[in-house]
Structure 1
Amino acid sequence: MARDVIRQKINDAFLRRALRNFAAAYPVARAKAFAGTDFEQLRNEISTAKETNLQILPELVERFTSAAEAAGAVVHYCRTALDARQKILEILRQNGADFLVKSKSMTSEEIELNPYLEEHGVTCLETDLGEWIIQLAGERPSHMVMPAIHKNREEVAELFSKATGKECPADIPSLVRIARETLRSGFLSGQAGLSGANVAIADSGALGIITNEGNGRLVTTLPRIHIAVVGIEKIVPALKEALDVVTILPKNATGQTITSYVSLIKGPTGAGRQLHIVLLDNGRRQLAADADFAQALKCVKCGACANVCPIYEIVGGHVFGHIYIGGIGLILTPFFHGLDKAEEILKLCIGCRKCNEVCAAKIDIEGLIVDLRDKIRKPVGQKFLFATLMKNRKLFHTTLRALYLAQKPFQGEGGRIRHLPLVLNRETANRSLPPIAEKPFRNLVTERPRQGSTEKKAGKVIFYSGCLADFVYPEMCQDTVTSLEALGYDVLFPPEQSCCGIPARYSGEMDVARDLAKINIQVLLDREVDYVVTICPTCTMSLRHDFSKLLQHDPEWHAKAVALASKTVNFSELAVRHLDGGNPPVEPVLAVTYHDACHLKRGCGVFREPREVLTRLAGVEINEMEDCDKCCGFGGSYSIKYPEISQEVLKNKLEKIVAVGAAMIAVDCPGCKLQIEGGLEAAGSTLSVEHSATLVARRLAQ
């Protein structure tokens, strides 16, 4: 993605304010809308039903077609976007229609219908207010549900003034009135109406459409011809599955209990009228048969993945998407519009997994985005770099030693790096960086006397440090070992352990990631231990989840990966097992606020345990900050590849930290410590950031 485009969106004051206000209001409205509804149960039911539907998709298409035609509709199955465009034009020409009024339809956006029809002499009028605004602006939607969220009232007033030929005031009630008056004639004179559909019901042939504006019903009833463009994945067997979608979609999309209009359309609306249903394939059958990516078709198009995305909040949908935007848009784009349209946007995901948490159909959005990076072109030399450095520990250590010496001219007071040379300086524009340690933990541990014996009653563990803690925060590693030994564990540290492979995997180098998984499995399973303990959530997620996924097609290695996963725990998960549930927290000696690491909370489901360890073992009082689980903007190499975005996400996090007024920030991720600590230091703050293991070690040492 071009840097100037990203900077333009970051510097768009209205866009930033609008998206930020919506991001703040949405969770509150959503929680209120779901009050009394079991979201997890509902989305589990939808997910299961959708998976079943995809397995019988050809059958559902046939059943729906038969039922719809029996009700008087004409069904057209179109394999490609071009087929669909041509069929719609053919229907219009056969009926002498050259004026089409449209209700909101992302599927019509997908097939790029409007420009095609305009080129062939058909006037198209968008009657959804947001869609009309962006039609006048010559743009595409920046959100699947709120297409004009990026436009302010002054811009809208200017567009309306040009469209109506008279000066339009920039106040919302007036603009709504002008839109209503201007569009009304279109409803009355439109020769054909076009809509999408949120669901299509196979056993009745009915279409389900939910909208917030009355235009949807006018478009589908007033013109003599109604054309509905429907993706075949929208077909459900019966009314029950349709109502589940109707129930969850408005709540998840905009935080509404229900939309203003829920319509079921079965057959033409009267004598002499026509209903044409264009069933669109456009790669859907092929995607449904793809075992790795089929789940993307479970999407109900609620747009919630964009609503909670920290990257969308910064740059908006015209950067974070193609036609479909947000996390799911990044996945659908290569299948519907080609990999060339997806190469840049697939890299923009920071991997926070917030989208997974709110997805109405329980799609592993973040996981699919990462998997798709394996299919796009990579920078020349990237694979060689990863394979050479990551897999060769001796060379890796030599390189880091050289970097340790090279960093000295750029270190300021206290040893932190505040300015890098030339183009690299943008990486430290709004934060400082910690230096590479003179001695990594793997060197220090060989000099450190073992504490205790192998007969400790708590058991024996391997400490898997991860690269960042090993080479930048060796003291954090020492604190971890101190804490584990104080809890009664005999701690081993195999120096042969290697990078968990996440940098390679997130860069699309899956072969390198697989090789690193095998190296680590061999090392970590070579010793008889009770647990493999990590202090980096990304490493935890790699060992616990990613290794088995990467090696799923190799039965022998997959079995080993599963065995390793069963032993892998994050530090706080293990430490919490040593707490007596009946004992109250120890007397607090420090007030902290806690930042949830994305991969720990949403990748591993661990968020209560760190708080218990901190309050009942480390002796701190936690003052919860607002948005405690919102991404800090680190994302590993993301903060290097997209520093402008990373720094803006960090600013949002720092505001929440400062507002809570705690004396310290506790984290369970070395990367979060690096990001937050650097941002605070660059802003002149004296607040410190410490890993939970360090706070536990300090308390146990007293």
Structure 2
Amino acid sequence: MAKEIIRQKINDAFLRRALKNFAAAYPVARAKAFEGIDFEELRGRISAFKQEGLRSLPDLVARFTASAEKAGATVHLCATPEEANRTIHEIIRGKGADFLVKSKAMTSEEIELNHYLEERGVRCLETDLGEWIIQLAGERPSHMVMPAIHKNREDVAELFSRATGRECTPDIPQLVQLARETLRSGFLTGQVGLSGANVAVADSGAIGIVTNEGNGRLVTTLPRTHIALIGVEKIVPSLTEALDVITILPKNATGQKITSYVSFIKGPTGGDGRELHIVLLDNGRLRLAADPDFSEALKCVKCGACANVCPIYEIVGGHVFGHIYVGGIGLVLTPFFHGFDKAEDILKLCIGCRKCNEVCASKIDIEGLIVDLRDKIRKPVGQKFLFGTLMKNRKLFHATLRAAYLAQKPFQGEGGRIRHLPLILNRETANRSLPPIAEKPFRDLMAERSGSRKTAAGSREKVLFYSGCLADFVYPEMCMDTVTSLEALGYEVAFPQKQSCCGIPARYSGEMEVARDLAKINTDVLLEEDADYVVTICPTCTMSLRHDFPKLLSADPVWREKAERLAARTFNFSELAARKSEAPGVGRGAGKGERPAVTYHDACHLKRGCGVHEEPRRVLTELVGVEIREMTDCDKCCGFGGSYSIKYPEISQEVLKNKMENIAATGVKTVAVDCPGCKLQIEGGLEAAGTGITVEHSATLLARRLEEQ
């Protein structure tokens, strides 16, 4: 992705304000819309029947075709965009028409229908207000549900003035009235109407459409010929499943309980001489439905919620974060619908926060699919050496990190922190400081350490400490605090010296074979020594050991069993510490009313990757003895994302600014985290801004509390 385009979107003040305001309002409206509804149960049901439908998609297509034709419709199954465009053009020309009025249909954007028809003398009029604005601007939608969210009233007034020849002021009621007057003639004179559909029902042949504007009903009833362009994945078995989709769509898309119009159409409407043509679009869907690795992408109901909550979309918008389909699912669908050449850049833009997974209406592992797809795109020159040679060789990798300790010295400022790197790298660290690589990594400190603290009587649960590379070589004191805390809580702690990188950097960069090899290396190392638990202080490492290793090694039954065994005994520090919240003589802090206040930042991979949310708060309140002042969006990404903050520093810094604003609003002087990467990112920003706010890992806060006792 061109850096100039990213910077242009970041510097677009209206776009930033519009997206930020919507991102703030959406969760509130969505929560209200889902009141009284079990979202997890509903989306679980949708996920199940959509997945089952994909397994028998050809049969669903055949059933729907038979039912729709029995009801009087003509069904055309089109394998490619070219075939769909040609079919629609032939229907229009067969009616002697040269004017098409359209309701919103993302599938028409997918096949670039307007461009195809207009090249052949057919005028197209978008009648959805947002789509009409986009059509006048000669752009593509920047959101699946709100296509013109990036346009302000001044932009719209200028577009309307140009289109109508009338001077328009940026007054919204006047602009809406002008749109009504202009589009009304299109409804009345349109010879053929085209719509999409949100759902198609196999047992009846009906199609369901939800809209917030009356244009959908006008386009499908006034013209004597109605064409419905529908992706085959929209087909569901019966009305029961269709109503589930229609129930979740408006709530998840815009935070509405229901849209203004819900329409079901079965056969031609309006009496004799009317025609309904249903164009079922394949465009790789049937092949994708049979793909065991990526088929779940087709469970998408096109609600756009993945964009609504995405911190990257909030910064750059859909014209950067997507191709035709935008947001997280757009990144996944693009290579299958439009080719990998259109997806190479945008697949790298995902920061991996998994927020999209949390709100997906059909429980798609969007982030996981994005990561897996990176294995199929071209890699930068030298990347294979970096991961395949350097990171897989533990001794070489660690020797390189030790050498970096000496190389960093010329760039260290007061307090040892790095504020300026040479040449182009200086831009990557602008507006933040970086911690130095430690003179002595944690693994050396543990090798030198003699003896250990006595564990509590009767408790000899053994823990293998998997530190992670960042904590080992940059935050050795954090690792020592972890050991101190765990031993005080009654655990026996050991550090396997042969442990290596968890493989997440390689996996997130698309080097799956390297990630698989590292999974095998670490699985053997961590199972070699008998222990009750494996503990981490890096949520990304926790997620890797607990979830990624079994997935990476699933093809081999022997390795899969070993990986699952390791996963079952892997825990984050806060999980193990919280189990000891009732340990005598530990924590409790100051008396009521005297407890110092901190705010807590939820690491993305801890909360959404591992499902750990309450335990860190229990550690802080029950063991450390502090009060937590929750910040706004406490679980929103801080912008680190590992190498993401180096590859896309402009985006990373903007995400960090949002986090820093929310931290400052709490008025606290300490931010508690459970991730070394989050500490590096947030601490660097706060320190560079001179806020005086410190960032500490929960293990460090607990160790300090124990020292005071």
1-side partners of 2:460 and 2:251: how far apart?
47
For residues 363-512 of structure 1, the aligned pairs below 5 Å read 363-452=364-453, 457-512=459-514
Q: 2:677 maps to which residue?
A: 671
Q: 2:541 maps to which residue?
A: 539
Amino acid at match of 1:30: R
2-side partners of 1:195 and 1:74: how far apart?
15
Q: 2:157 maps to which residue?
A: 157
Cα distance, 1:458 vs structure 2? 3.7
2-side partners of 1:681 and 1:193: how far apart?
59
For residues 200-349 of structure 1, the aligned pairs below 5 Å read 200-269=200-269, 270-349=271-350
For residues 107-118 of structure 1, the aligned pairs below 5 Å read 107-118=107-118
2-side partners of 1:393 and 1:532: how far apart?
20
- Residue aligned with 1:617, SS: helix
Mark the runs of 5 or more structure 1 residues left unpaired by the alignment. none
Cα distance, 1:586 vs structure 2? 4.2
- Residue aligned with 2:194, SS: strand
Structure 1 residues 309-344: Cα deviation after superposition (integer angstroms, max 9, x where no partner): 000000000000000000000000000000000000
2-side partners of 1:456 and 1:165: how far apart?
86
Give the counterpart of 1:576 among 575, 578, 597. Answer: 578
Q: 1:694 maps to which residue?
A: 700
- Residue aligned with 2:528, SS: coil
Structure 1 residues 493-523: Cα deviation after superposition (integer angstroms, max 9, x where no partner): 0110000000000000000000100110010
Give the counterpart of 2:597 among 591, 599, 613. Answer: 591
TM-score by length of 1: 0.99
Amino acid at match of 2:634: C
Q: 1:648 maps to which residue?
A: 654
1-side partners of 2:268 and 2:460: how far apart?
72
For residues 116-127 of structure 1, the aligned pairs below 5 Å read 116-127=116-127
Matching of residue 660 in structure 1 with residue 666 in structure 2: yes
Amino acid at match of 2:702: V
The 8 Å contact of residues 454 and 487 in structure 2, kept in 1 or not, is answered as no
Cα distance, 1:446 vs structure 2? 1.1
Deviates more, 1:423-432 or 1:99-108: 423-432
Cα distance, 1:661 vs structure 2? 0.5
Cα distance, 1:388 vs structure 2? 1.5
Cα distance, 1:585 vs structure 2? 5.1
2-side partners of 1:53 and 1:580: how far apart?
49
Amino acid at match of 1:473: Y
- Residue aligned with 2:262, SS: strand
The 8 Å contact of residues 201 and 238 in structure 2, kept in 1 or not, is answered as yes
2-side partners of 1:410 and 1:661: how far apart?
32
Matching of residue 631 in structure 1 with residue 645 in structure 2: no
Structure 1 residues 588-630: Cα deviation after superposition (integer angstroms, max 9, x where no partner): 6421000000000000000100000110001111000010000
TM-score by length of 2: 0.98
2-side partners of 1:418 and 1:584: how far apart?
36
The 8 Å contact of residues 640 and 678 in structure 2, kept in 1 or not, is answered as yes
Cα distance, 1:456 vs structure 2? 6.4
Q: 1:74 maps to which residue?
A: 74
Matching of residue 520 in structure 1 with residue 488 in structure 2: no
Amino acid at match of 1:406: A
Structure 1 residues 668-697: Cα deviation after superposition (integer angstroms, max 9, x where no partner): 000000000000011111110000000111
The 8 Å contact of residues 204 and 238 in structure 2, kept in 1 or not, is answered as yes
The 8 Å contact of residues 456 and 489 in structure 1, kept in 2 or not, is answered as no
Structure 1 residues 216-260: Cα deviation after superposition (integer angstroms, max 9, x where no partner): 000000001000000000001100000000000000000000000
2-side partners of 1:680 and 1:585: how far apart?
29
1-side partners of 2:464 and 2:241: how far apart?
48
- Residue aligned with 1:233, SS: helix
Amino acid at match of 1:462: L
How many residue pairs are counted as aligned between the two chains?
Answer: 702
Structure 1 residues 407-458: Cα deviation after superposition (integer angstroms, max 9, x where no partner): 1111111011011111001121111000000010001111122214699624
Q: 2:186 maps to which residue?
A: 186
The 8 Å contact of residues 458 and 487 in structure 1, kept in 2 or not, is answered as no
Deviates more, 1:241-250 or 1:382-391: 382-391
Amino acid at match of 1:46: I
The 8 Å contact of residues 456 and 490 in structure 1, kept in 2 or not, is answered as no
Q: 1:557 maps to which residue?
A: 559
Q: How well do the aligned residues superpose, as a CA RMSD in angstroms?
A: 1.2
1-side partners of 2:382 and 2:421: how far apart?
23
Structure 1 residues 380-411: Cα deviation after superposition (integer angstroms, max 9, x where no partner): 12111111111112211221122111111111
1-side partners of 2:50 and 2:699: how far apart?
43
The 8 Å contact of residues 387 and 512 in structure 1, kept in 2 or not, is answered as yes
Structure 1 residues 181-213: Cα deviation after superposition (integer angstroms, max 9, x where no partner): 000000000000000000000111000000000
- Residue aligned with 2:493, SS: strand
Structure 1 residues 516-572: Cα deviation after superposition (integer angstroms, max 9, x where no partner): 001100100000000000000000000000000001101111110000000000001
The 8 Å contact of residues 196 and 228 in structure 1, kept in 2 or not, is answered as yes
Distance of aligned partners of 1:59 and 1:581 in 2 relative to their CA distance in 1, 3 Å threshold? farther
Cα distance, 1:25 vs structure 2? 0.3
Cα distance, 1:364 vs structure 2? 0.2
2-side partners of 1:400 and 1:59: how far apart?
57
Cα distance, 1:261 vs structure 2? 0.1
Q: 1:173 maps to which residue?
A: 173
- Residue aligned with 2:135, SS: helix
Q: 1:147 maps to which residue?
A: 147
- Residue aligned with 2:672, SS: strand
2-side partners of 1:436 and 1:663: how far apart?
25
Structure 1 residues 621-669: Cα deviation after superposition (integer angstroms, max 9, x where no partner): 1000010000000000000100000000000000000001112000000
Q: 2:612 maps to which residue?
A: 606
Deviates more, 1:628-637 or 1:424-433: 424-433
Deviates more, 1:264-273 or 1:304-313: 264-273
1-side partners of 2:285 and 2:205: how far apart?
20
Matching of residue 22 in structure 1 with residue 22 in structure 2: yes
2-side partners of 1:444 and 1:559: how far apart?
33
The 8 Å contact of residues 321 and 349 in structure 2, kept in 1 or not, is answered as yes
Q: 1:93 maps to which residue?
A: 93
2-side partners of 1:589 and 1:409: how far apart?
42
Cα distance, 1:581 vs structure 2? 10
For residues 59-70 of structure 1, the aligned pairs below 5 Å read 59-70=59-70
2-side partners of 1:378 and 1:57: how far apart?
34
- Residue aligned with 1:538, SS: helix
Structure 1 residues 358-398: Cα deviation after superposition (integer angstroms, max 9, x where no partner): 00000000000000000000011211111111111221122
The 8 Å contact of residues 587 and 705 in structure 2, kept in 1 or not, is answered as no
The 8 Å contact of residues 587 and 625 in structure 2, kept in 1 or not, is answered as no
1-side partners of 2:98 and 2:298: how far apart?
33
Deviates more, 1:574-583 or 1:538-547: 574-583
- Residue aligned with 1:578, SS: coil
Amino acid at match of 1:559: E
Cα distance, 1:580 vs structure 2? 3.0
Structure 1 residues 163-188: Cα deviation after superposition (integer angstroms, max 9, x where no partner): 00010010111110110100000000
